[in-house]
Structure 1
Amino acid sequence: MTDSDQRNTPPAAKTSVRMIKVPEDRAGQRLDNFLLGQLKGAPRSLVYKLVRSGQVRVNGGRAKADRKLEGGEEVRIPPVNLNEVGENAPPPASFLERMEQAIVFEDAKLLVINKPSGVASHGGSGISHGAIETMRALRPNQNLELVHRLDRDTSGLLILAKKRSALTELQALMREDRGGIQKRYLTLLVGRMPDGVMSVDAPLHVGLRQGGERHVQVNPSGKASLSHFRVLERRGGHSYCEVRIETGRTHQIRVHAQHIGHAVAADDKYGDPAVNKRLREQIGLKRLFLHAASLEFALDAGKTPYVLNAPLAPELVEALDRLA
């Protein structure tokens, strides 16, 4: 199969200008995500470029990428030749196979993967193939939408919605913070956490460092954030824990762990480089020890319960065994 066979856009010429009326079931969807659904295979960077340059119009006017669309609005999509976009090569076959094997649950509404560490939730910033782009390549006839995100270095459960109704209901549950979705992570904290159970209630503020890199810190001006740590085992002077979070802030567990003086093992952003080096040499831990292990929620106004689980990644199991 050639590259052009795998694309939805004909290889010869640019598409023509399209005027698309937003379906009622897409009401509330962000403009960028709507465009990604219309321009199958387009990299996110191209979509943002089209929006920033004003080539995309909503009801005849310019709009931002994060604009929430309403049913019946008219979106102008400019001519695009995806075959001219160098970064739009399809994901490698080996990576497609790896991501296919990562699927842990699927029904008519949801597709759930056990995302490997090192795979971004979505492309952008030099990343051609994130989890969502790869799953769309695997399921070209389905409208998959990312429900939430995981840090690139975090492994575990990542939910993709097949239906707009499931996406909006899950995102509403995510916004509830306390109890809408029960989230359980597994992590190795550096050092001996003094108490078996510890709750961290500390507001988090997201800042940007030079170069645009996000950096999060505890700050009174930040958003309320609550994490519950419980030690499962003491291993080699470190603390193997489960973490339940009631909020879903950027880098929440990692920053809360740093805040209590026990950073997540192998955290190259918030941890101690010397300790990380020692763990790499002693137990072969080369990645962040943080795994989204389970999610519990109910759809259809509470009538349809879901209990999703993803086993701890093999490289983390091996690192734990070497600590014993």
Structure 2
Amino acid sequence: MKKKIPDTYSISVKEDMERQRIDNFLIKKFKKIPKSMIYKIIRTGKVKINKKKILPKYKLEIGDKISIPSIKIDVKRIKKIQNNNIICSNKKINNILKEILYEDDCLLIINKPSGIAVHGGSGINFGIIEIIRKLRPKNRFLELVHRLDRDTSGILILAKKRSALRDLHQQLREKKIKKKYITLVHGKWPKYRNNISAPLLKTKLLNKKNIVQISKQGKIAETHFSIKQQYSKYTLLLATPITGRTHQIRAHAAHAGYPIVFDTRYGEKKLDFEIKIKNLKSRLLLHACKIHFIHPCHKHDMTILAPLEKIFKKYLDSLM
């Protein structure tokens, strides 16, 4: 049996919809439509804003006119997908409940596990934001303040009020939010190498994976590095991104000649093989461990710390 949403119609963006990504807006509005279908109609230009094609990351502005096409829906297929998602989601939810670092009326901060995307899309049925929305169904508003790579663990902030989201986005633009990451890299990092400034350009590999490359045509990117501990063949670093580019720490570490351990995009497989521990899952050894910001509602200084995952600790212990 097939159904379809009404013929092409338009939606006017109001204040409570402002600054949402178009993909997230459509996913929430049409909950019964598979995310893959939503991304497809955006990618193929069938969804238009102000009569123009847009990208999934486009952020809505007050007064925008969203044109949405008629979409055929295979009800049986959707039920099958939803049942599979419920099973997966329940497993993830049980773990995420244990990873909440802080929560109040404005914010929810978690220690995101490695291997989970922050949101669904591009072949991923659900992510952290979908899980948290299941956990907090009474919250009318829940949005990601920032993002982490799927394989990176650590601090992730969600806003429970639009005013909080706007405030924290303003702090990000003004570089008032300070983030720190712990990472293990191959090689003995030199003590004098404490700053890397190299522009990054987004590109795509043949397998359609996004990567960044050092390029004069790229955007300015800067990362500070300091040594926490050195081992015979590895270095534990504290990385502080000054800018917030995609894969910035990973690309800069590799550019310096010290790739992050188990980095499948920018790393070295041969070097990774040397440190692999039998019966222990490998994961990108990069963790968002600390963040400092001004609370968007209560206006006091906030510092959040996130402990390392057990797997990360075990790899460090193996080097002792």
Q: Per the shorter chain, which TM-score range?
A: 0.7 to 0.9
Q: Gapped runs of 5+ residues in structure 2?
A: none
Amino acid paired to 1:114: N
Where do 1:198-237 residues align within 5 Å? 198-237=194-233
Where do 1:106-117 residues align within 5 Å? 106-117=103-114
Where do 1:28-67 residues align within 5 Å? 28-40=19-31, 42-52=33-43, 56=47, 58=49, 61=51, 63-64=53-54, 65-67=56-58
Deviation at 1:281, TM superposition (A): 3.6
Alignment check: 8 A CA contact 1:186 1:241 kept: yes
Amino acid paired to 1:38: K
Deviation at 1:145, TM superposition (A): 1.3
Q: Gapped runs of 5+ residues in structure 1?
A: 1-11
Alignment-derived partner of residue 316 in structure 2: 320
* Residues 70-96 of structure 1: CA deviation (Å, up to 9, x unaligned): 335554655786954243332342221
Output the TM-score relative to the length of structure 2.
0.85
Alignment-derived partner of residue 190 in structure 2: 194
Alignment-derived partner of residue 293 in structure 1: 289
Identity %: 39
Amino acid paired to 2:159: A
Where do 1:1-324 residues align within 5 Å? 20-40=11-31, 42-52=33-43, 56=47, 58=49, 61=51, 63-64=53-54, 65-73=56-64, 75=66, 84-85=77-78, 86-88=80-82, 89-90=85-86, 91-142=88-139, 143-176=141-174, 179-195=175-191, 198-281=194-277, 284=280, 286-300=282-296, 303-324=299-320
* Residues 273-299 of structure 1: CA deviation (Å, up to 9, x unaligned): 111001104895611110000111114
Distance in 2, matches of 1:322 and 1:54, equals 51
**Closer/same/farther in 2, CA of residues 140 and 50 from structure 1, 3 Å limit:** farther
Output the TM-score relative to the length of structure 1.
0.84
Deviation at 1:204, TM superposition (A): 1.1
Distance in 1, matches of 2:53 and 2:113, equals 35
Distance in 2, matches of 1:156 and 1:219, equals 29
Amino acid paired to 2:130: E
Amino acid paired to 1:138: L
Amino acid paired to 1:146: L
* Residues 161-215 of structure 1: CA deviation (Å, up to 9, x unaligned): 2111222222232233xx3210100011111112166111111111111132112
**Closer/same/farther in 2, CA of residues 13 and 140 from structure 1, 3 Å limit:** farther
